[in-house]
Amino acid sequence: MTRLDATHRLAAALGNDLVIASLGHPAYDLFAAGDRDTYFYTWGSMGLASSVGLGLAMAQPDRRVVVLDGDGSLLMNLGSLATIGWVRPANLVVIVWDNGLYGTTGGQDTATAHGTDLDAAARAMGISATATVKTLAELDHAMARSRSQSGPWVIVAKVDESAPAVKPPQDCVFIKQRFMAAIGVPEGGTQGGPA
Amino acid sequence: MPWAVGVCAGLHAAGSRHVVYVPDNPLSHVLRALRENYPDVETTIATREEEAFGIAAGLYLGGKRPTVMLQSSGLGNSINALTSLLVPYQIPALILISMRGDAGEWNSAQVPMGRAVAPICDAIGLPHATATSPETTADTVALVAKTAFATRTAGVCLLPRRLTVPASRVGG
């Protein structure tokens, strides 16, 4: 399956989930599959999508948070798996589009093309709910399991690279404000009284 | 009040109930004071400072007022997270930096980054203030946080060694 095909299939199953998309192709494909206010597209900070998802999952424990990461991005911030494995937010699902490539930068190999297993890495860092999927049907099954069995989940989806045709909105403040409005939280933060 | 209690009072008064951090020795006093005096403040330890800023950004997107605590050396690990996430998306946080490499330092490996902290903050657009005494620390922290969250600009409060390491002072 290509990443774009898999993203389309995934998007159909997201419903009201909050989504943090890693920069580059994961974000481009998510936008191509149909834009929603509940999507937060990152345009930088490579590697931090799962960390942003962790913070969001902690702040919004009653919402499901889905992170769309890439293998190269997650390899930049493997410590995030250790922190997720420690905090264990039940409402966090990390999808890793694993194509064994730095796709956005021209197709250089990542370590997953040479033996690194991110599913095993997640389990080694205390995340017990994991899956590796290679077909759309397996992806559907894993997503269904992630709804019935508490997280945190790490789902490694083995995908083929697919060149994205469109880019999401590029105004960072617009992306943030739209996303926070969709959740229904005000700018400036709310907990603990007035700023 | 002791400086570490002042840090806690300041962030609490500004409405922050989540502290994400990478520890250092002076910050251990803040963590202890949080546990003893402000049990409603949740703490999360990150493996690296840029990860802490990612978590803080997510907390803010979810409606919280995050505080990030780090040693000055960790600012070097954080610059991409700050300049490509918090700054362009106008995501605020209270940033507490425990200083190394400033007056009183003994470790030369800490000095270059310590000297660079304020210029880096200026270069990437982060306002910064320094807590200069235990008596004024709570107010300084609270005011930095108030401005950060009200103006959606991450704000830095520097905690110099002359504040956090009494033994570094004459007669300390």
Ranges of residues in chain B whose predicted pLDDT is under 50? 172
Chain B residues whose CB is inside 8 A of the A46 CB are 80
A-facing residues of B in 35-64 (CB < 8 A) are 42, 44-48, 50-51, 53-64
Per-residue pLDDT at A163: 79
| Under 8 Å between Cβ of B67 and B11 | yes
pLDDT tens digits, A86-114: 999 999 999 999 999 998 888 999 999 99
pTM of the model: 0.97
B18–A58 CB contact, under 8 Å: yes
Number of Cβ atoms within 10 Å of the Cβ of A55: 31
pLDDT tens digits, B26-76: 999 999 999 999 999 999 999 999 999 999 999 999 999 999 999 999 999
Contacts of residues B118-127 at CB distance under 8 Å and 24 or more positions apart, as own/partner, are B118/B158, B120/B75, B120/B79, B121/B156, B124/B79, B124/B82, B124/B83, B124/B87, B125/B87, B125/B153, B126/B82, B126/B87, B126/B95, B126/B153, B126/B154, B126/B155, B126/B156, B127/B153, B127/B155, B127/B156
Q: Hey, is the C-beta of A38 within 8 angstroms of any chain B C-beta?
A: no
B58–A195 CB contact, under 8 Å: no
Per-residue pLDDT at A118: 98
